[in-house]
Amino acid sequence: MNVIRLRRSVLSVPANKERMVHKAMGLNADEIMLDLEDSVPVQDKEGARRAAIACFQEADFGPKVRACRINDMQTPYAYRDIIDIVEQAGTSVDVLVVPKVAGPAHVSAIDLVLSQIETALNLTRKIGIEACIETAEGLSQAEAIAASSDRVEALVFGVADFTASMGAPPIGVSGHGEGETGQGRWYSVLCRLAVAAKANGLQVIDAPYGDHSDPEGLFASCRLSSGLGFDGKWAIHPSQLETINTEFSPSPERVEQARRVVAAYEQAAGGHSGSLAMEGKMVDAASVRLARSVVDKWEQMHGSRN
């Protein structure tokens, strides 16, 4: 059974930036991801790893999910990231975020190593995996990756690397979704990832919006992926957290409406009615399932936070 967590906002922080890491602990992010990969220069890889270990050992994350993005499995840094982080701080890490997952073999390799370390250290809690799908190769095996291990908790879409792997032109300076208006050119990719994740009981997370001075662009980007069932989005700046948290939560009006739908349906023929009219609209069993999913999400959110 894959683990479901509150991860509307995933704040990505370079592990070698001590002040940013310290500040992140007090921010309203559901998950803090200490990054060892693309935001850390090659000459700082070892220092960043040591800093991440110290942070996991010492910092108070409160209820936030404690995540570490390791380096790409095709680099010489990845194996040492896994071993050092988990051996030295495994009791204080919830998930490893694995970039550029190319296929299920990447996940299986990590799964086996994690099992060995967990057994050797008598760790009772299994460390989870968030698998980043951000290459054409990875996307072509998204379903197999999602099904590859019960450690996989979420699929993550990385738009910048994905665009690069497609040989497609960048839009905007960062390549992280800025200027991708409307449904955008990768709409079908978002849909595929959402289906691959949900078909396997996983969550699905959208990567960051690269322009933190463009709140409208961030909002549009959140609306797009949250509308497809995505559970959250990365943030690269504290100013993005509020919009992301709001956009990946059901609004109080929607929850209220969902409760009315469930109540009306249960009242009518003890919940065995085929369809009925409510506020001039047709409500049937599917409407009720949908309404219940909104209420469940709300209750899960509030249960796990308060």
**According to CB under 6 A, which residues from 34 to 53 bind ligand GLV?**
none
* Cβ atoms within 10 Å, residue 251: 12
Integer angstrom CA distances of residue 122 from 65, 87, 107, 172, 267 = 21, 11, 22, 48, 51
18-26, 88-96, 161-169, 212-220 -> range binding Mg ion (CB under 5 A): 161-169
Of 138 and 250, CB closest to ligand GLV: 138
Among Mg ion, ligand GLV, none, what binds residue 72 when CB lies within 5 to 8 Å by partner kind? none
17-25, 110-118, 120-128, 131-139 -> range binding Mg ion (CB under 5 A): 131-139
Length of the chain as a residue count: 306
Cα–Cα distance for residue pair 77/49, rounded to 1 Å: 10
Q: Which of 104, 128, 158, 217 binds Mg ion (CB under 5 A)?
A: 158
In sign, the C-alpha dihedral spanning 130, 38, 174, 163 is negative
Q: Give the residue among 2, 28, 25 at the shortest CA–CA distance from 249.
A: 28
Instruction: For residue 161, state whether it binds Mg ion (rule: CB under 5 A).
Output: yes
Cα–Cα distance for residue pair 302/306, rounded to 1 Å: 6
Q: How far is the CB of 164 from ligand GLV (least distance, A)?
A: 8
Of 51 and 207, CB closest to ligand GLV: 207
109-117, 156-164, 194-202, 228-236 -> range binding Mg ion (CB under 5 A): 156-164
User: 9 with 233: CB under 8 angstroms?
Assistant: yes
45-53, 112-120, 159-167, 236-244 -> range binding ligand GLV (CB under 6 A): 159-167
Instruction: For residue 160, state whether it binds ligand GLV (rule: CB under 6 A).
Output: yes
111-119, 145-153, 154-162, 221-229 -> range binding ligand GLV (CB under 6 A): 154-162
Q: Which residue has the tokens 């980007």?
A: 221
Among Mg ion, ligand GLV, none, what binds residue 51 when CB lies within 5 to 8 Å by partner kind? none
Instruction: For residue 138, state whether it binds ligand GLV (rule: CB under 6 A).
Output: no
Cα–Cα distance for residue pair 70/78, rounded to 1 Å: 6
Cα–Cα distance for residue pair 167/169, rounded to 1 Å: 7
Size of the site for Mg ion (CB under 5 A): 3
User: 90 with 117: CB under 8 angstroms?
Assistant: yes
Cα–Cα distance for residue pair 96/98, rounded to 1 Å: 6
Q: Which of 207, 255, 258, 288 binds ligand GLV (CB under 6 A)?
A: 207
- Provide the binding-site residues for Mg ion, judged by CB under 5 A: 134, 158, 161
Binding site residues, ligand GLV, CB under 6 A: 134, 158-161, 176, 207
